[in-house]
Amino acid sequence: MEIPVFLASDEHYHPSDKYRNSSYIQNMQEYLQLYQESIEHPEQFWNRIADELRFLDRKSTVWSGSMPDFSFFPESLLNVCDNCVDRHAENPAFRNKVALFWEGEPGDKDCLTYAMLQQQVSKFANVLRSLGLQPGDVVSVYMQNLLETYVVLLACLRIGVVYNTVFAGFSAEALRERIVASKAKLVICSNASYRRGKVLPLKDTVDLALQGVDSVEHVIVFRRIQNLATPMTTGRDLDYEELMKGSSPDCPVTPMEANAPGLLIFTSGTSGKPKGIVHAGGGFLLGTYAYSKYQLDLQPQDIYWNTADIGWLTSHIFVLVGGLAMGATTLLYEGALDYPYTGRLYEMIERYQVNKLFSAPTAYRMLMKHGEDLAKSYQLDHVQLLASVGEPLNPEAWHFLRRVFGQGQAVINNTWGQTETGGTPLASLPGAVAMRPGSCGVPFFGHHLDIVDQNGCSLPDNTPGFLVIRSIFPTLARDIFGDRHRYLQSYFSQLPGAYFTGDSAIRDSFGHYWVLGRVDDVINVSGHRISTMEMESALIQHPAVVEAAVVGEPDSLKGMVPVAFVTLDKAYSVSENIADELKEKIVQDIGAFARPSQILFVDVMPKTRSGKIIRRMLREILQTGDVKGDVTGLEDVDVLETLLEQMQRPL
């Protein structure tokens, strides 16, 4: 593992006094004291968080068991939707506050106050009940960022139905796989979405995905685009608006045990099959409330925009559950951030007076590419916080955010988290922690992070190793849906009693953590986590392919892009056509975001004596044009020369 050069710098930037004074934690000493207390007496910290939320029956035990078989507030009863919606709708100071602003890509606008949200959510919860859904049943949701998507998800939480959001950019094949794996009884979708001016017919994709799947009893369709012909299957498909018309706005919340499953979200792992990560409702609520409060400093008067798509967990952590539990006013947006003009994001920030933005490094790099003059042509003085998650935030992008977008005064908060951690165990506490450009900040309260070597021994500062979490925390994934064995193997077999993140990291002498990248076969493309194995198994299904290996290549905009090395069957010859077909195969099986940037046809692959492809060498060849590292593991060293020659040949 290499140590990045920028780590050597001791650059620090302090939040302004103005920011600090309005922050929940105002200096480093306060953070350190509270952190120490939260590690030594986690129950004290989490009890205080619980005091700020509403339980329907709160028992005195905060934790029972140990990693991985633990419970958080066992036998206590609460309801997530009650905390995110009703608690505010019943409060005269929040009732008529906007909970969600929404803007569609074509510029249409809408919003819901907390009182309106309570009404809509209750009505839809009654729709779900009338269709016979029971606590614990799974519903698959295939929708883009819409107000109705939030209504649907909160309605599920209201009556204990477990939802699974599937990113609306996934293909029919990927959607089918998730519907089948989660045993969904109901699919809820929008008829279409807008993306870069194009209409994406989501309902058509659902119809394709459901061919041959008989576990799904109904499909509820929200007509995002009214005058679009949308195929409806009689008896199975139901219209959202029609159902809502006849539904009562009175729907009591269902008390749920704090550890009962709340949501299910699939992510890529090291094998070809996506993992259905199960989060407990109660733990997710308490944890995401705490992350949103302390890492984003959310205040009632803030206008906060989180650009994440609802298909990714970031939206659930920082908007749907954490953000709403904090009573925030959040902006949701349907489309591409630079469409129909490059300044769309800045323009919306100016128009809605957004003072806190949460986005991804890819989006920030895109803004940087569009240049400083663009940023300067908008009025952005009110921006106080720019947060980021999903991939490394390179120091160049960090400085652009601070100096240009943030007008030299905004706090930049690069957070680190995973679908499995259900939140961001690493981040800055914006008013308390001095910023180090590119670092992921410091451990969050109650999270004992560590960096270890191959034997699980803790490493000193400034030494790269595996990032692990030694303490239990409320948002840690509780299971992989239907596969407990895989859950235990993937995360808890490497270091007994600790959670293995699959990332490498380094801690500097200031206590900041720097996440360096994955140590497994997962690559991060524009923040989308893709399993190279999943791509390889799609490629292998093409009749022309004998062998395939996918690796990530650094990209200045997307962070990483996938490149596929492919060996063809002798009956086929190398051509542009086959390369296009293979790219298309990935798009069909996974989605357009996973399309390889290049297909490199080779006759040989570097392999170990046991026949495993050494992807590390393919990565090195791509990046440097050579292999300088250790080659002793190779079965046949001559392979490298052949490979290098073949990579030079034109298609």
Per CB under 6 A, residues contacting ligand PRX are: 267, 313-314, 389-392, 414-419, 440, 502-503, 515, 518, 524, 529
Cβ neighbours of 130 (radius 10 Å): 12
Task: Pick between residue 274 and residue 282 the one whose CB is nearest to ligand PRX.
Answer: 274
Which residue, 390 or 474, has its beta carbon nearer to ligand PRX?
390
Task: Determine how β-strand 449-452 pairs with β-strand 465-469.
Answer: antiparallel
190 vs 418, beta carbon nearer ligand PRX: 418
Evaluated on CA atoms 348, 351, 352, 358, the torsion sign reads positive
Please say which residue, 395 or 502, places its beta carbon nearer to ligand PRX.
502
Q: For the CB of residue 301, give the shortest distance to ligand PRX in the complex, in Å.
A: 26
Q: How far is the CB of 103 from ligand PRX (least distance, A)?
A: 23
Residues 6+ apart with CB under 8 A from 393: 361, 364, 412, 414, 438
One-letter amino acid for residue 449 of the chain: L
CB atoms within 10 A of CB 175: 24
Tell me how far CA of residue 427 lies from CA of 383, 440, 442, 512, in angstroms. Answer: 19, 5, 6, 9
Q: How far is the CB of 267 from ligand PRX (least distance, A)?
A: 5
Non-local CB neighbours of 150 within 8 Å, separated by 6+ positions: 100, 112, 117, 310, 320, 332
What six digits make up the tokens of 199?
Answer: 């209409």
Which CB atom, from 192 or from 452, has the smaller least distance to ligand PRX?
Answer: 452
Kindly give the residue spans of alpha helices, DSSP state H, lying in 353-483: 361-370, 372-376, 395-400
Query: Edge-to-edge strand order for the sheet containing 138-142?
Result: 237-239, 218-222, 186-190, 138-142, 162-165, 261-267, 275-280, 479-480
Shortest spacing between CB 441 and ligand PRX, in angstroms: 9
Q: Residues near 54 by Cβ (< 8 Å), separated by ≥ 6?
A: 78, 82, 83, 87
Question: Which lies closer to ligand PRX via its Cβ, residue 240 or residue 416?
Answer: 416
Closer to ligand PRX by CB, 265 or 404: give it.
265
Q: Which three-class secondary structure state does DSSP give residue 380?
A: coil
Q: Closest CB to ligand PRX belongs to which residue?
A: 419
The nearest distance, CB 373 to ligand PRX, in angstroms, is 28
CB of 45 to ligand PRX, least distance (A): 21
- Judged by CB, which is closer to ligand PRX: 45, or 312? 312
Q: How far is the CB of 516 from ligand PRX (least distance, A)?
A: 8
Strand partners, 554: 560
- Dmax (CA) for the chain in angstroms is 75
**Distance in Å, CB of 307 to ligand PRX, minimum:** 13
Q: Where are the beta strands (DSSP E) in 160-309?
A: 162-165, 186-190, 193-195, 198-200, 218-222, 237-239, 256-257, 261-267, 275-280, 304-306
- In the complex, least distance from residue 13 CB atom to ligand PRX, rounded to whole angstroms: 17
Q: Which is nearer to ligand PRX, 194 or 466 (CB)?
A: 466
